[in-house]
């Protein structure tokens, strides 16, 4: 049964990138201001906040961020909770917001995500991010995230013949799309030759196969049907929401060319929406590494297993292709402030759906699927959205 | 309007204390087994998990704990999310579980909390816990948690004449109640003289005014009305749930003798339940420090502001008093594995309500209020519960 009562009435993000001198609370506050007062929604209307943030404890020695952030953003007093699922933190906060509305306990809530990363050194960030894998069995013996996705890449190459060039094409597409997105960390197109430069991080992944370390925040306002008219004539409805988990350990998996949490969460979300992958006009997927986009495009049912690279090669997933994926540039080029990402993905889908994506507008934009993915793929959240007037 | 559809059908905790050689995932798994298979609830019936945990990133270098924990506990694949609000993490997970049921998206869910603390040194734990305060303005310049509550204690002493002896009585009551609770960290009664020994941590708080560093886990199974009969004839209903926030900084508060988040969350929860503090037979409150119990007993409306110490002195809050508070020993003597605490408090209320508290049974047990409190009081969650057959 599709969700019936949850609407997105505004959506905003800060610029993603190395935001020097801007603190976590300042970025958060900027995103909230854009999604509330600048969108004509008084802050006093916000009844509760659900916030995604991955690892501020290790990066800026700040836990218990939710009340701190809401206080700073002019929302003092409201219930404010932080949700954490590594890189899927943002989408778990969204799901909490969806349940808050669907339960009837609230009718106007804020969903936001934030991460301040660039004030830490790269080794500090790598160490912090490694906490998203199993410390007892894998990360403590040296498996960091480029390594995790390199293993998946090798498995995919071996089983399906996917090549380093295919992966490089994910980066080329991402940088091309982001070149017209002023909120992106990188706004410069790159060539296939540049993407293939042997600056190896963890073979076969090279520097351009990896999303960057970024700062940023994103925010959404969700309302019940009754409240929606008050704020907009063109809401976006969340009609399906699925979440699934998997073992944290790669060593407990039977297949490294697919992520079962993505497959299971997609099925649950499509089923709830009463739709299939074929009904989706475009997708936003979690391309933390280039191979992750290829695998996700298969896991969410856009392409058969092993056919993702070919679809990409053939331009099917390009901005002007039949099934656009990451039309504004994805994590790869827009940046990946971890806790913000899952919310920013929905901001992008919202903008595309209401036709507000400027040079990055996809041609068909009635329905979208958003794929947010945590750690080694141990969490996946899928959101199915539809423009409210369809 | 009271919540109508959320029932607790089983509740369990591990022993709290220094659980040497027992890992986070093992404790979690033990609590889950007790709350599911040992209570006659097959694990396959659990559709989603909501988990409270405060700071495993800093204590055991483990983020993204929810899928890791559920996998280890035999619940692989289900949606599993971690919720963090410092010491109120457990109750924010509970609220997420309540919304999941009330939304109709799930009808049988697990709510759990866990923290592994004793594998770290006391300075490491103190540093980790300090992340629950504002790093930019307060904790980074040396304000740790005994300091925060010492400030509240001095304010309360100054305004209301509360004494060090009053605070010591909280500890004496807690240790007395815990002496018959085999799951408590400390099971030894103490005398008022012992509690007053000048082992000062942060004046006026002495060692017995502070809850200990403990390991532990707790778990609940929540079901919709329809599913409840399948598991028990005596459920406990959650009829009210309130959450509120406050500034993280003490320097932004106007009154340090009360916590506005506790007052606001209580009002919201009682209003939802259609009841008042007077209707509550007993309370479970967050006594991380002795003064916190006295203030909480006022903030939740059991006693007028400034009258909490007198009620305690007069035995009103004793196990056999008119308005028992923390009948099994509270955080002070049972222990405070941070993420587990908010769930364990509800486990205790459940056991009291269904009449399963043995020597710690309170005489009147139709309704209860549970107060879980985060950090400097920047988050408070209040839960109002009623025995299902009342």
Residues from chain A contacting residue B135 (CB–CB below 8 Å): 60-62
Q: Is B99 on the interface with A (CB under 8 A)?
A: yes
- Which of A173, A201, A236 is the C-terminal boundary of a domain? A236
Q: Are A65 and A109 in contact (CB under 8 A)?
A: no
Cβ neighbours of residue A223 closer than 8 Å, sequence gap 6 or more: A7, A9, A101, A107, A108, A109, A230, A231, A235
pLDDT attached to residue A264: 98
pLDDT at A325: 98
Q: How far is B290 from chain A (nearest CA, A)?
A: 22
Q: How does strand A367-374 pair with strand A216-223?
A: unpaired
Q: With beta carbons under 8 A apart, name residues in chain A contacting B119.
A: none
Q: How far is CA A214 from CA A24, A87, A337, A341, A342, in A?
A: 12, 13, 5, 10, 14
pLDDT over threshold 90, residue B40: yes
B336 catalytic per annotation: yes
**C-beta atoms surrounding A149 within 10 Å:** 25
CB-nearest to B68 from A61, A66, A134 is: A134
What residues of chain A lie within 8 A of the CB of B25, using their CB? 136
Place of tokens 């040194």: B121
Residue positions counted in chain A: 390
Q: In chain A, what residues touch B132 (CB-CB under 8 Å)?
A: 63-64
Q: Which residues of B touch A246 (CB under 8 A)?
A: 67, 71, 76-77
pLDDT over 90 (residue A389): no
What is the chain A residue with the closest CA to B82? A84
A290-299 helix and A260-273 helix, angle to the nearest 10 degrees: 50
What is residue B355's predicted lDDT score, i.e. its pLDDT?
98
**Site from B67, B80, B82, B110 to mutate, A interface, most A CB atoms within 10 angstroms:** B67
Q: Give CA–CA dist B191/B193, Å, rounded.
A: 5
Residue A336 designated active-site: yes
Residue among A48, A252, A379 whose CB faces B64 most closely = A379
Of chain A, the percentage scoring pLDDT greater than 90 comes to: 96
Pick A68's closest partner by Cβ from B98, B99, B248.
B248
The answer to whether B71 faces chain A, any CB pair under 8 Å, is yes
Q: How far apart are CA B220 and CA B272, in angstroms?
A: 22
SS3 (DSSP) at B282: strand
Expressed in angstroms, the distance from the first to the final Cα of chain B is 18
B372: in domain: yes
Give me the residue label for tokens 């969806």: A98
Same domain flag for A231 and A272: no
Measured in angstroms, the CA of B366 and the nearest CA of chain A are apart by 24
Do both A76 and A180 map to the same domain? no
Q: What is the pLDDT of residues A247-259, one digit of tens each?
A: 999 999 999 999 9
Q: Note the pLDDT of residue A277.
A: 98
Model pLDDT, residue A390: 80
Rounded distance between C-alpha atoms, residue B242 and residue B261, angstroms: 10
- A 10 A CB-CB count for B160 gives 18
Kindly determine whether residue A128 and residue B48, on different chains, have CB atoms separated by under 8 Å.
no
Q: Is B82 on the interface with A (CB under 8 A)?
A: yes
> Closest approach of chain A CAs to the CA of B170, in angstroms?
27
Please name every residue paired with B284 in a beta bridge, in sequence order, or none if there are none. B370
Q: Are residues A108 and A181 in the same domain?
A: no
Give the pLDDT confidence of A329-370 residue by residue, as tens digits. Answer: 999 999 999 999 999 999 999 999 999 999 999 999 999 999
Residue A59 backbone phi and psi in degrees, to 5: -85, -40
pLDDT at A243: 98
Among B83, B87, B156, B175, the active-site one is B87
**Given A83, A185, A286, A336, the catalytic residue:** A336
Task: Write the CB contacts of A81 (distance below 8 Å, at least 6 apart in sequence).
Answer: A49, A50, A51, A66, A96, B83, B84, B85, B92, B95, B96, B243, B379
Residue by residue, DSSP assigns B78-143 as: S-EEEEEBTBTHHHHHHHHHHHHHHTTS-SEEEEEEEE--TTS-HHHHHHHHHTTS-TTTTGGGT-
* Closest to B359 measured CA to CA, from B202, B182, B111, B220: B182
Q: Determine if the peptide bond prior to A138 is cis (ω within 30°).
A: no
pLDDT, mean over chain B: 97
- The answer to whether A133 faces chain B, any CB pair under 8 Å, is yes
- Per-residue pLDDT tens digits for B106-118: 999 999 999 999 9
pLDDT digits (tens, 9 = 90+) for A277-295: 999 999 999 999 999 999 9
CA distance B58 to chain A (A): 7
- State which residues form the domain around A114: 7-121+213-236
Question: Quick check: helix, strand or coil at residue A244?
Answer: strand
Size of interface A-B (CB pairs under 8 A): 205
Beta-strand relationship, B236-245 and B7-13: antiparallel
User: In this structure, what token pair is assigned to residue B34?
Assistant: 């007790």
Pairwise pLDDT comparison (A94 vs A142), residue with the higher score: A94
Q: Are residues A245 and A222 in the same domain?
A: no
Q: What is the pLDDT of residues A174-220, one digit of tens each?
A: 999 999 999 999 999 999 999 999 999 999 999 999 999 999 999 99
User: Is pLDDT above 90 for B389?
Assistant: no
C-alpha radius of gyration, chain A, whole number: 19
**Bridging pattern class, strands A379-387 and A236-245:** antiparallel
pLDDT at A64: 97
Q: Which of B3, B60, B63, B78 to mutate to test the interface with A (most CBs of A within 10 A)?
A: B63
Residue A127 falls inside a structural domain: no
A95 Cβ contact partners less than 8 Å away, ≥ 6 residues apart:
A241, A243, A381, B79, B81
Indicate whether B1 pLDDT > 90.
no
- Containing A241, the helix (H) or strand (E) segment is strand A236-245
Q: What is the pLDDT of residues B322-376, one digit of tens each?
A: 999 999 999 999 999 999 999 999 999 999 999 999 999 999 999 999 999 999 9
Of A61, A85, A248, the CB nearest to B71: A248
Q: Does A262 touch chain B (CB under 8 A)?
A: no
Mean pLDDT value across residues B89-94: 98
Q: Which of residues 236-255 of B touch A (CB under 8 A)?
A: 241-248, 252
B6-34 burial code (b ≥16 CB/10 A, e <16): bbbbbbbbbbbbebeebbbbbbbbbbbbb
CA of A246 vs chain B CAs: smallest distance (Å): 5
Residue B133: inside a domain, yes or no?
no
Co-location of A43 and A191 in the same domain: no
Share of chain B above pLDDT 90, in %: 96
In whole angstroms, give the CA distance from residue A188 to residue A111.
Answer: 30
Residue A71 to residue B378, Cβ atoms within 8 A: yes
Same domain (yes/no): A95, A158? no
* B2 pLDDT more than 90: no
Q: Do B71 and A252 touch (CB under 8 A)?
A: yes
Contact B221, B36 (CB under 8 A): yes
Shared domain for B115 and B190, answered yes or no, is no
Residue of B58, B81, B132 with shortest CB distance to A64: B132
- Residue A312 Cα distances to A43, A326, A334, angstroms: 42, 12, 19
- pTM (two decimals): 0.98
Query: How many Cβ atoms sit within 10 Å of the Cβ of residue B176?
Result: 16
Task: Look at residue A320 and give its three-state secondary structure.
Answer: coil
The number of beta carbons lying within 10 Å of the beta carbon of residue B38 is 12
**What would the two tokens of residue B130 be?**
């300090």
For residues A53 and A176, membership in a common domain is answered with: no
In percent, the amount of chain B with pLDDT more than 70 equals 100
Please indicate whether, in this complex, the C-beta atoms of A62 and B131 are within 8 angstroms of each other.
yes
User: Are B63 and A86 inside 8 Å of each other by CB?
Assistant: yes
Q: Which of A83, A87, A175, A210 is catalytic?
A: A87
The phi, psi pair for A28, rounded to 5°, reads -60, -50
Of B55, B81, B134, the CB nearest to A68: B134
Task: Please state, in angstroms and as integers, the Cα–Cα distance from residue B17 to each residue in A48, B217, B331, B332, following that order.
Answer: 35, 10, 11, 12
The sign of the torsion formed by the CA atoms of A378, A134, B145, B289 equals positive
A63 backbone φψ class: left, alpha, beta (φ>0; ψ -120 to 50): beta
Q: Are strands B80-84 and B48-52 parallel, antiparallel or unpaired?
A: parallel
In a domain, A191, yes or no: yes
Last residue of a domain, one of A236, A271, A288: A236
Interval B50-74 mean pLDDT: 97
A55/B57 CB distance under 8 A: yes
Asked, for residue B131, whether it belongs to a domain, the answer is no
Q: Which of A236, A270, A294 is the last residue of a domain?
A: A236
Which residues 311-340 in chain A show a CB within 8 A of chain B?
Answer: none
What's the token pair of residue A164?
């380093």
The answer to whether residue B132 is domain-embedded is no
Q: How many Å apart are CA B351 and CA B300, to the nearest integer?
A: 21
In a domain, A2, yes or no: no
Per the domain annotation, does B135 fall within a domain?
A: no
Q: What sign does the dihedral A180-A182-A184-A187 (CA atoms) show?
A: positive
Quick one: angle between helices B89-102 and B338-353, nearest 10? Answer: 60
Q: Based on the domain organization, do B255 and B361 belong to the same domain?
A: yes
In whole angstroms, give the CA distance from residue B338 to residue B344. 10
- A82: nearest CB among B85, B104, B241: B85
What CATH number does the domain containing A292 carry? 3.40.47.10
Q: Do B81 and A243 touch (CB under 8 A)?
A: yes
- The predicted pLDDT at position A71 comes to 98
Query: B266 and B287, same structural domain?
Result: yes
Does one domain contain both B314 and B348?
A: yes
Contact of A143 with chain B, judged by CB distance below 8 Å, is answered with no
- State how far the alpha carbon of B257 is from the alpha carbons of B68, B310, B377, in Å: 41, 15, 12
Q: Is A374 on the interface with B (CB under 8 A)?
A: yes
- B49 and B29 in a single domain? The answer is yes
The count of domains in chain B is 2
Q: Which residue of A has its CA nearest to B66?
A: A85
pLDDT band at B282 (very low <50, low <70, confident <90, very high): very high
User: Confidence band (pLDDT; 50, 70, 90) for B276?
Assistant: very high
CA angle B89, A105, A273 (to 5 degrees): 95
* Dihedral, CA of residue A91, residue A97, residue A98 and residue A104, to nearest 10: 170
Catalytic residue among B83, B185, B336, B365: B336
pLDDT digits (tens, 9 = 90+) for A30-53: 999 999 999 999 999 999 999 999
DSSP A133-153: S-TTTTGGGT--HHHHHHHHH
Structure-token pair, residue B349: 């209320």
CA distance A215 to A220: 18
pLDDT at A270: 98
Residue B293 DSSP label? H
User: pLDDT (tens digit, 9 = 90+) per residue, A292-316?
Assistant: 999 999 999 999 999 999 999 999 9
């Amino acid at each position: 049964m599709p969700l019936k009562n949850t609407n997105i009435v505004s959506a905003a993000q800060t610029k993603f990138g190395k935001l020097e001198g801007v603190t976590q609370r300042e970025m958060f506050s900027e995103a909230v201001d854009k999604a509330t007062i600048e969108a004509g929604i008084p802050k006093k209307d916000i009844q509760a906040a659900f916030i995604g943030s991955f690892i501020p404890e290790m990066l800026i020695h700040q836990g218990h961020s939710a009340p701190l952030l809401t206080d700073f953003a002019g929302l003092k007093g409201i219930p404010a909770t932080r949700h954490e699922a590594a890189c899927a933190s943002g989408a778990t906060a969204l799901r909490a917001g969806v349940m808050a509305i669907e339960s009837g306990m609230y009718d106007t809530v804020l969903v936001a995500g934030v991460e301040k990363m660039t004030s830490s050194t790269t080794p500090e960030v790598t160490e912090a991010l490694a906490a998203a894998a199993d410390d007892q069995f894998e990360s403590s013996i040296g498996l960091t995230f480029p390594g995790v996705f390199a293993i998946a890449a090798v498995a995919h190459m071996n089983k399906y013949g996917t090549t380093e060039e295919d992966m490089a094409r994910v980066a080329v597409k991402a940088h091309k799309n982001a070149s017209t997105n002023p909120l992106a960390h990188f706004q410069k197109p790159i060539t296939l030759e540049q993407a293939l430069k042997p600056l190896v991080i963890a073979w076969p992944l090279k520097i351009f196969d990896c999303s960057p370390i970024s700062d940023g925040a994103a925010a959404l306002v969700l309302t019940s049907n009754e409240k929606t008219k008050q704020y907009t004539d063109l809401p976006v409805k969340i009609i399906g929401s699925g979440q699934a988990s998997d073992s944290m350990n790669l060593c407990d998996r039977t297949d490294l060319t697919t992520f079962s949490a993505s497959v299971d969460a997609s099925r649950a979300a499509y089923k709830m929406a009463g739709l299939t992958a074929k009904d989706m006009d475009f997708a936003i997927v979690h391309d933390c590494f280039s191979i992750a986009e290829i695998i996700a495009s298969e896991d969410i049912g856009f392409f058969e297993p092993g056919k993702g690279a070919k679809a990409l090669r053939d331009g099917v997933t390009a901005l002007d292709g039949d099934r656009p994926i990451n039309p504004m540039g994805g994590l790869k080029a827009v940046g990946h402030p971890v806790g913000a990402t899952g919310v920013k993905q929905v901001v992008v889908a919202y903008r595309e759906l209401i036709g507000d994506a400027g040079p990055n507008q996809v041609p068909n934009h009635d329905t979208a699927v958003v794929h947010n993915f945590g750690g080694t793929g141990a969490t996946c959240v899928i959101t199915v959205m539809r423009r409210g007037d369809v």
